[in-house]
Structure 1
């Protein structure tokens, strides 16, 4: 890990929002995309296997018998002050959508916006961090595009491949499935605590960095091997937003045990102290009709359920008779995996108890 070339520079101080907390609200995005649905008839293109109508984690296009391309992109402002680490986290986050679809990363292009008066050597470190993470994933950086902007932004356009018979989607969860989460949540709160220089946040912040740097590659591979029914990753729309998409797309009710949701160290404490994000507030406001939360829950725990995650966990629905084998396999290879609830017949929504 290499520190930013300018001593004392805080990249996060140049960002209005940290990481995936910068995402447009889920309801607003739905409205913005509505006109596109009148331009393209996805049913007219038999090779487009997953597109806008599916509202999934990435697009999937059939290019040959047994071979489909996965295409996605993601970018955001700095989440940490170290340039190399920022690049690596942004790359891990962008590639996660390929893993959420069950695919293999092959190719990536840099997407960069950079202030004209900010040392380009810092950008070089960002790009180096991103390239190292793509190499770790077994992919290659093959180009990119860079523009000037008042705020730094970095991410990737990622191309993956998959056998079309093995695509993982948000649809597919069935009553009786067990719900698994492959990482602890709380990155949004902890990044905010660090940005605000709150005392005592170092332990949680360092744990958040370690979590964000971890690829979802092995979790995805193991989910496929164990016959998971549905999968997505938890990012800017938080556990509640992304799990509700699984509920709606699958036509099932998801029941989540709040006490079983794994949290990063000190995240709930800082949420209680007010270190929350604008993205979390938008999530709560726009997900009210999709989520039912017990009134007995601690408000700070509720904040965690709506906290935007950067390079967050996989959320997996797996048959009950395979759940423990998958959970333990992922825990061995990724350092943790938690059963947090189940799917049942009922109105498509998320119920938290």
Structure 2
């Protein structure tokens, strides 16, 4: 799969070297910056329209993303009613252009769906759950999805990673542990800030009763920053208040629990939120009621237990990652953002570990 080698003549605000032409803009706003110098910006065109421009040095991932938006998402939209930003154009910088801090090797231009409010209601999450159940039900044999993995290790890899570190017969503090009281727990050693007894329960369960992994088409990166309600569409005010799902560049086959975990229980440093126990159970029940036959257990309690183990393992793995980032004192997030993410992840772990 290869991106277009030349810039379309109709996209006159992108130069041949992949940079944005300032003389074609009324303004620009940085939305996100990531690894490898990638940038996502909102461009305010002189015509009055707005678009979202993404630039990256990862040309293979950019090519995969373009292919997903051109060939996979139309199928998902037709099947699930999914609303997503349209890919307008994409390309490569000229081979002779020298990249600089702002000149990346590949670029993509998307429809601007407006400002997304990532603090969504339970009703919006229920809408997302319904769409998710429909895209999970899609047959994937004819879809060109590319690599079969997302940005993070999958559940099996995370579980193996934790067992390697904690040990198959682990007892006690084999990893850095805090001392003190866990919220709602009696005095006992804490591992990654959660009660040792809960960690042991999850470790034993992931060794003896792992969830049955049935693979389905997954968004792959459905954290709180990749969905939300439109506060205001730049070009269509009628879409205000509509749920949008963005960031589809990591679509792959995975367990349906992967999308559920990202949407419900996975904390993000930039988008703090709180999902209560009762709300989480209602959301999971809504998915179970709509899931295609064979994707999840037929009995609701079995489904809730399997998902809870899956989520607890992923949350424990994330807690380890957060502790490592805090210790390194460098990276994309501030200490305060990481501490907020850690608190939310601990809460998700406790909730799910209690069901295991």
**What is the TM-score when the length of structure 2 is the normalising length?**
0.34
**Structure with bigger gyration radius:** 2
| Structure 1 or 2: more strand by fraction | 1
Relative contact order: is structure 1 or structure 2 higher (C-alpha 8 Å, sep ≥ 6)? 1
